Amino acid sequence: MTEQQPTSLRERQKEDRKARIIAAAKSLFLEAGLEKITMEAIAEIAGVSSVTVHNYYGTKSGVLLALVAESDRELLATLERGLRARGETLTDRVLGFFEIVCRHTQTHLDKAIWRQVIAASVSGTEPRFGKLYHELDNRLASVLIREVERMVGAGILPETVDPAHLGWALFNLQNARFIEFIAADGSSCEAGLQHLRNDLNALMPGGFPGR
- The residues of the shown chain that bind DNA, judged by CB under 7 A, are 8-10, 13-14, 17, 37-40, 47-52, 54-55, 58-61, 125
Closest CA to 29 of 104, 100, 114: 114
- Per CB under 8 A, 181 contacts a copy of itself: no
Q: How far is the CB of 127 from DNA (least distance, A)?
A: 10
Closest CA to 102 of 47, 50, 54, 140: 140
133 neighbors 117 (Cβ within 8 angstroms): yes
Closest CA to 105 of 120, 115, 119: 115
Stretch touching a copy of itself by CB under 8 A, among 4-12, 18-26, 80-88, 114-122:
114-122
Q: Which of 33, 47, 87, 124 binds a copy of itself (CB under 8 A)?
A: 124
Over the window 132 to 171, marking each residue x when it contacts a copy of itself by CB under 8 A and - when it does not, the resulting string is: ----------------------------xxx--xx-xxx-
Q: 48 vs 62, which CB is nearer to a copy of itself? A: 62
- In terms of DSSP H, where are the helices of 60-162? 60-70, 72-83, 90-108, 111-123, 127-153
